[in-house]
Structure 1
Amino acid sequence: MDSASIKEGMLFLTQTGVGILGNASLLCLYNFHLITGHMLKPTDLILSQLVLANSLVLFSKGIPHTMTAFGLQFVLGDTGCRLVFYLHRVSRGVSLSTTCLLSGFQAIKLSPDFSRWMELRMRSPKSIGFCCFLCWILHLLLNSTVPLRMCGPQNSTNSSRKIRNFGFCHVCILGKLINAMLIFILSSIDAMHLGIMVWASGSMVLVLHKHKKRVQHIHSNRLSPGPSPEARATSTVLVLVSMFVSFYTLSSTLTLYVSVVESGRWLVHFSVFAASCFPAFSPLVLISRHPHFLVSLWFWGSKRTFL
């Protein structure tokens, strides 16, 4: 194994380790609140699904690519390759839809023009849970053709269809027309999600800007108070959406290029690294924006130690 492979493996290992540790910590916190009977906010329900989806992305893509970078053989075989890649596509899509749901929910929450009925419905845990359930159903159905197009490395040489290498798995190009239709459908749905995120983010920025101008004269002659909880929550959502759109655009562009043009190993690995940046580093944003998280986690750990 050469030095380049070692560097790539260490990079994937660090990224995957940081992401799994951060997401696992957040899942522990949310589950601790559920077990102890704490009332979760609607945004916490959405964030818990986002954390779960990001964890599955890292497990289904980060770990196999880390093994491949270190030169280890992927032991799940052809069936395992299909299932793992299908899980990655579904969890990646759920992460996209959940981020879109989070930004849309926060925009509705801030908007003064929305009806009281709609606001109450969006605050209902049952409504939020139903929206989260629909996210999973949507992407389970949309990616149902993924297992049919994937094959493990041991079967790639026996296939008569055109093969593209995605690291530990290979995708079989079913035909130019079918491949173009699949790319168009999936890309259109992704573009719709991104458009909603951009619209919601713009709406939140405008509402916050108007609110800041409206109250600016009130605090002109005294010390300005700290930001409100709504402003802090909105800024967190905006940071998450900005991260997602940036990394998603970069990874999608690289993945499309790799799918169309035969590329080297380094470009395939870089596209995987870019796709895993949001699942790996978004927990750090959530933890840093919620200082009480560390206190809750410490209290939970201390309680388990003394029991």
Structure 2
Amino acid sequence: MISKDIALGLFFLLQTGLGVLGNSFLLGLYTITLFIGPRLRPIDLLLVHLTFVNDLALLFKGIPKTMFTLGLKNFLDDVGCKLIFYFHKVSRDLSLCTTCLLSSFQAITLSPRNSWWAQLKAGAQKCMVPLCLFCWAFHLLKNVMILSFMRGPMKNKTITQQDFLYCSVPFPATLNLAMHILIVFLPDFLFIGIMMGTSGYMVFFLYRHHQRVQYIHGNILTPSVSPETRATQTILFLVILFVCFYSLNSIFILCIQNERSSWLVHISAFLAACFPAFSSFFLIVSDSHVYKNFLALLDKRILFG
């Protein structure tokens, strides 16, 4: 019979492997299409960035988690723990930032010509790359504190306020809670607030558009869904997925602050990897441009020589 640790390790390995496979497929498809395929939409540049940082988040979280649950206990030293947690946190924050940019860009794209958002349409596409670079610089600096506090596994658990099973953070609980609120949660809440605001605007826009189309066509015709509407629906679902998994994971992180439990850490790790792992398959299924780009590359015999 397979032990619980082995079953848990195989589960994390499956989650990480499937997620990396889905993100790598999209990343490769978008990259090939960018150079030799049909012209990409402006929003596809943000999707490329999202799949890349999701891949990083899965690798930096899934590989050490799988190694630990399969029986490798002390495979990371202080330097290894610093780098693993630092780059995982940076990539996870970049996933949040990119999802926020996707929601904001699509809201600007949908805005009518007479709205004040219309003034941002012309410069929105030009600002994509600078905004992504700004997100990298901001989150690399924001998470520098991890390099100072993260340590390898400690034998004396009485002085460790937060135990991550294969790494630890040896500082007082009050300081840890204050840093989470000030350094971690407040910027994240700002991005989530922007996502919720732009998502609410897009839902309102789609509702009014649906009412207008129903009034024009009546009950006789069934109008087809426009590409803009499909893209908006896809981004809305991405935002919903991210907010749901982020909220649940944040709750478990706060629970870990007060109670040391290996299962809380495992559940938190699973929730943290859900969006990076599942969002790629959602994009593959829901975004018609993925299928069209794949067929276009097949016609050119690029994928199979």
SS in 2 for 1:80: helix
Equivalent residues of 2:50, 2:95 under 8 A apart: yes
Deviation (angstroms), 1:161:
4.7
Question: Which residue does the alignment assign to 2:17?
Answer: 17
Equivalent runs, 1:173-212 vs 2, <5 Å: 173=171, 175-185=172-182, 186-212=184-210
Number of aligned positions between the proteins: 300
Q: Secondary structure at the match of 2:260?
A: coil
**CA 1:221/1:37 → structure 2, altered by over 3 Å: closer, same or farther?**
closer
1:167–1:269 CA contact under 8 A, matched in 2: no
Q: Deviations over 1:96-145 (max 9, x none)?
A: 11111111111111122135431111123xx1000111111111111000
Q: Point out the more displaced range, 45-54 or 297-306.
A: 297-306
- Alignment correspondent of 2:98: 98
Residue identity opposite 1:303 in structure 2: I
Q: Rate the CA distance shift 1:299–1:115 in 2: closer, same or farther, 3 A.
A: closer
Partner of 1:118: 120
Letter in 2 for 1:22: G
How far apart, in 2, do the equivalents of 1:298 and 1:267 lie? 44
Match of 1:232 in 2: 230
Write the letter of the residue equivalent to 1:82. Answer: K
CA contact (8 A) 1:67 1:74 kept: no
Whether contact under 8 Å (2:98, 2:132) holds in the other structure is yes
- Report the 3-state secondary structure (helix = DSSP H, G, I; strand = E; otherwise coil) of the residue aligned with 1:217: helix
Equivalences for residues 81-96 of structure 1 within 5 A: 81-96=81-96
Matches within 5 A, 1:29-48: 29-36=29-36, 38-48=38-48
Are the counterparts in 2 of residues 287 and 293 from structure 1 also a CA contact under 8 Å?
yes
Give the gaps of 5 or more residues in structure 1: none
Contact 1:244 1:278 in 2 (8 A): yes
Shift in Å, 1:52:
0.9
Alpha-carbon distance in structure 2 between the residues aligned to 1:77 and 1:298: 47
Where 2:51 maps in the other structure, the secondary structure is helix
Deviation at 1:89, TM superposition (A): 0.6
Quote the Cα distance in structure 2 between the aligned partners of 1:106 and 1:66. 37
Which of the residues 282, 287, 291 maps onto 1:285? 282
CA contact (8 A) 1:5 1:71 kept: yes
Kept in 2, the 8 Å contact 1:250–1:274? The answer is yes
Q: Secondary structure at the match of 1:303?
A: coil
Check conservation: 2:76, 2:167, Cα contact below 8 A: no
Q: Displacement of 1:228 after TM fit?
A: 0.5
SS, match of residue 35 in structure 1:
helix
Letter in structure 2 aligned against 1:190: D
What are the within-5 Å matches in structure 2 for residues 227-306 of structure 1? Answer: 227-258=225-256, 260-294=257-291, 296-297=293-294, 300=297, 302-306=301-305
Q: TM-score, normalised by structure 1?
A: 0.91
Question: Within 1, Cα distance between the matches of 2:222 and 2:135?
Answer: 41
Q: TM-score, normalised by structure 2?
A: 0.91
The answer as to whether partners of 1:104 and 1:200 remain within 8 angstroms in 2 is yes
Render the CA deviation track for 1:222-281: whole Å, top value 9, x for unaligned. Answer: 3212211011000000100000000000001101211x2232211210110011100000
2:143 aligns with 143
Q: Shift of the alpha carbon at 1:18?
A: 1.0
Q: Which residue of the partner structure matches residue 71 of structure 2?
A: 71
The alpha-carbon distance between structure 1 residues 248 and 52, as it changes in their structure 2 partners (threshold 3 A), is same
Deviation string for 1:70-98 (max 9, x for gaps)?
11246343211110110011001111111
Higher mean alpha-carbon deviation, 231-240 vs 33-42, is at: 33-42
Q: Which amino acid aligns with 1:278?
A: F
Mapped to 2, the partners of 1:246 and 1:46 lie a distance apart of 21
The separation in 2 between residues aligned to 1:291 and 1:104, in whole angstroms, is: 21
Q: Which segment drifts farther, 248-257 or 106-115? A: 106-115
- Cα RMSD after superposing both structures: 2.1
With over 3 angstroms needed to count, the CA separation of the structure-2 counterparts of 1:298 and 1:263, relative to structure 1, is farther
Task: Name the amino acid aligned to 2:181.
Answer: F
Assess, with a 3 A threshold, how the Cα gap between structure 1 residues 238 and 304 changes in structure 2: closer, same or farther: closer
CA distance 1:294–1:206, change in 2 (3 Å):
closer
Match in the other structure for 2:169: 171
Identity %: 43
